[in-house]
Amino acid sequence: MTGPEGPYFYLDGCATAPLRESVMACMGKVQQESWGNPSSLHRIGCDAAESLERARLSIGESLGADRSEILFSSGATESAHLALLGLAKTESPGRLVISAVEHPAVAAAAQQLAESGWTVERWPVDADGQIEMQHLQRLLEPPTKIVSLIWGQSEVGTLQPIQAVGEACRSKHIPFHTDATQVLSQGCPNWNELPVDLLTASAHKCGGPRGIGLLLLRTEIAERIQPLLAGGQQENGLRAGTECPVLAQGMAAAFREIAPCQANQVKTSGSGIASLRDALLALLRQNAAIRVSGHPTDRLPHHLSVLVSDRHGQPMSGRALVRALDREGIAASSGSACSSGRDSDSPVLAAMGVDPRWRRSGLRLSLGHWIDPATLPEINDRIQNAIGRMNHQRV
């Protein structure tokens, strides 16, 4: 990949990651051999059904889950909606607790519940974007019936203490959901060791294909949850629609490339990616105009989020900086890829108490295995050049 003056550097892995070569090879083979409809009874359909279930078994081995606990969907957005709305269908309206820094997909599902009589309360976060644990007991008291927390925040990188919250929810028999989309791109936690009842993720953050995600759910939850899509009995009757063995095998292949990790070691996992991120940060910090946002240590290992000021100490536009970086041959993001198309204040930075003047100046750099450590100085130079050009334009 080339940019205006040499290689183009992709630093937007939190939006989507490049397809891994092993995934591409796997999907090509499956497309040739198992392209049929898994619900068909003839041999071509049976081959597709076997391929689909082998993918489910492989993902289970990667995540320490039983194949019966894995449901395929079109992506994390659908999975999150099924987790929250499907579970709420079996309950009388109560209170749903989500963090104040949820992904827009979870926030949208919560809004649907609010419109159907549920109370939605947002768990306050501190200046680093981490939930304030002093609210734990109050928020788990009745009428709370479901809790949902994003594990690794996609915009600022902060990790939430899902172990402590999950254990507290379990003690009170409150179903607990986590959006683990960004975390699973960096390490495969053991599902059986997590105090979590529902977990959602997408394949494309992990170097897998777009168009497929998963919902992990405990057996007792699977018996209660109601489908959102009707018309077929696929996925144990919880998600109608023809499954795609090619995408499922691609996701399985991507997970096989990711190392196992302990739930409390996500921030240091990723085969050295954290050290790569820290090395880039050390270079960037030579410019006093760049300051880190999000938690300084409890954060996704591949993730950098910063606020950038001009030479007068005033905030730069994150969107304008992303365009300037593109001209320098760097792909980055001004926030969550699902909302960065709008030129508005970041709800995440607002929840963290960031001054309103700075809520449009966020920049996200997310790394991956495709980045050569030897290129970090050039990446830093290009970022500094982009900031310099913007300063020059603001004379």
> pTM above the 0.85 mark?
yes
- 105, 211: one domain: yes
* Residue 255 pLDDT: 97
> Which tokens in the block code for residue 45?
């359909």
DSSP structure class, residue 181: T
Dihedrals phi, psi of 157, to nearest 5 degrees: 85, -5
In whole angstroms, give the CA distance from residue 65 to residue 204: 20
User: Kind of pairing, strands 290-292 and 303-308?
Assistant: antiparallel
Residue 71: pLDDT above 80?
yes
Is the confidence at residue 270, as pLDDT, over 50? Answer: no
272 and 250, same domain (yes or no) = no
Residue where the block lists tokens 């992506």:
75
What's the pLDDT at 343? 62
CATH of the domain at 179: 3.40.640.10
Q: Looking at the structure, tell me whether residues 222 and 341 fall in a common domain.
A: no
CA dihedral angle for residue 53, residue 54, residue 55, residue 57, rounded to 10 degrees: 90
What are the angstrom distances between the C-alpha of 117 and each of 50, 85, 112?
42, 12, 9
Domain carrying residue 376: 2-19+265-393
Examine the domain organization and report whether 200 and 116 are in the same domain: yes
Domain's final residue, options 227, 261, 295? 261
Residue 384 pLDDT more than 50?
Answer: yes
| Residues noted as catalytic | 338
pLDDT tens track for 292-341: 999 999 999 999 999 999 999 999 999 999 999 999 999 999 964 555 45
Question: What average pLDDT does the chain have?
Answer: 93
DSSP reduced 3-state for 210: coil
pLDDT value at residue 175: 98
Please, are residues 218 and 190 in contact by the beta-carbon 8 Å criterion?
no
Integer Cα distance of 330 and 323 in angstroms = 9
Q: Based on the domain organization, do 231 and 342 belong to the same domain?
A: no
- Under the banding of pLDDT at 50, 70 and 90, the label for residue 371 is very high
Number of structural domains the chain divides into: 2
User: Are 216 and 271 in a shared domain?
Assistant: no
| Residue 231 and residue 93 share a domain | yes
Here the CATH number for the domain that contains residue 363 is 3.90.1150.10
The predicted pLDDT at position 268 comes to 64
Count of beta carbons in the 10 Å neighbourhood of residue 6: 11
